[in-house]
Amino acid sequence: MMRAVSWILVVAVGIGIGALVWSFAPRTLPLSPSAPLTLSLMIPPQPPPTMRVGVLHTGLMRSRGLFAYRGGDAGERVFGMDVVIVEHPQGTLLFDAGFGRRLHEHLRTIPWLMRLLSAVELQAPVVDQLVDASIAPASIDGVVLTHAHWDHVSGLDDLPGVPVWINQAELDFIRSGHPATRLARELGERDYRIYAFDGPPYWGFDASHDVFGDGSVVLVPAGGHTPGSTIAFIHAPDGRSYALIGDLAWQREGVDLPAERPWLLRKLVDGDDARVREVLVRLHLLQRAMPQLVIVPAHDRRVMQRLPPARHDEALHRGHPA
Ligand SMILES: [Zn+2]
């Protein structure tokens, strides 16, 4: 009897390990969008000529491609912890806050398995980089969160008083007490500015919020990764357009293939895998229809490096790779 039970246990464990390994195997998502993709916009973007878009690289995490998407390899993959800055005549916004000075204290708020799977390095906290670029931290009009996970809010710690732009679903997620938003709560009560998706459907997404009223920065609800995960479409005056997709995909292959994260990682980080799959397919189709749009996963340093550095000198950086 005992022998039979032992064998059943061995077989069960074997099946479990086999299923876990299989969940890392390459598998692309079927391309069946749930709604037709409409590319014409009611109001074409009219970014003012003085608007600037830049990037600040605050830190990185050394991980593996296989953790980022199904079919990724076992080689080292750098996950950037980057902040995008938009300087618009109506206001200066950061998109996510990257790493802050007290990163190592912040790391204690994340689950041990996440800590085990990643090696984090602080490059330069966002506040110090703003000062270096001659941008007064107090002059920032808001930090727009793609979502409220720890690695996107750590830098808020050094930006006291700077408003945090968020939608109601993500604020509810913070206030729900969910462990994934522990750092956002521990940073204390913030000046949250709640925006509503009060505009029309936008490139396959149900609704939108036009931040400056000129179509240069448009937020759309994505959900999936977290309840209020947001995509920011940014149209620069030089004709370049970016889609900041937060952590819907960690690396660009998530959209290019498209491919979701392996099961283990989905269970660790995603709230609604089916919605993540739907958004990845939608972004994949959008990229096919608009090859010039740069889709920017929050942690793909290769893509983030295609954005100009913050407050760059146009003359010095002419010829920067597009
Ligand atoms: Zn992240």
Q: Tell me the per-residue pLDDT of 9-39, one tens digit each, with 9 for 90 and over.
A: 766 666 676 777 777 788 888 887 655 566 7
81 CA distance to ligand 1 middle (Å): 8
Q: What is the DSSP letter of 30?
A: P
CA of 218 to the centre of ligand 1 (A): 21
Q: 40: CA distance to ligand 1 center in Å?
A: 31
| Secondary structure of residue 241 in the 3-state scheme | strand
81 close to 151: Cβ distance less than 8 angstroms: yes
Distances (CA, A) of 264 to 33, 203, 251, 260: 25, 31, 17, 11
188-238 per-position pLDDT tens digit = 999 999 999 999 999 989 999 999 999 999 999 999 999 999 999 999 999
147 C-alpha vs ligand 1 centroid, how far in Å? 8
Q: How many CB atoms lie within 10 A of CB 2?
A: 6
Q: Note residues around ion ligand 1 (Cβ under 5 angstroms).
A: 151, 247
Q: Report d(CA 182, CA 163) in Å as an integer.
A: 19
- Give me the mean pLDDT over the 308-322 stretch: 53
Sorted by where each starts, the structural domains of the chain and their CATH numbers stand as: 46-302 (3.60.15.10)
**34-92 pLDDT, tens digit each:** 555 667 666 789 999 999 999 999 999 998 999 999 999 999 999 999 999 999 999 99
Ligand 1 mean position, distance from CA 270 (Å) = 11
Distance from Cα 269 to the centre of ligand 1, integer Å: 9
What number is the average pLDDT over the span 280-289?
A: 94
3-state secondary structure 93-107: EEECCCCCCCHHHHH
pLDDT in tens, 96-151: 999 999 999 999 998 887 777 768 999 999 999 999 998 999 999 999 999 999 99
Mean pLDDT of the 243-272 span:
96
pLDDT of residue 34: 58
Mean pLDDT over 268-288 rounds to: 94
Which residues contact residue 218 at a Cβ distance below 8 angstroms, ignoring those fewer than 6 apart?
45, 199, 202, 208, 209, 210, 211, 232, 233
- Tell me, in angstroms, the distance from the centre of ligand 1 to residue 248's CA: 9
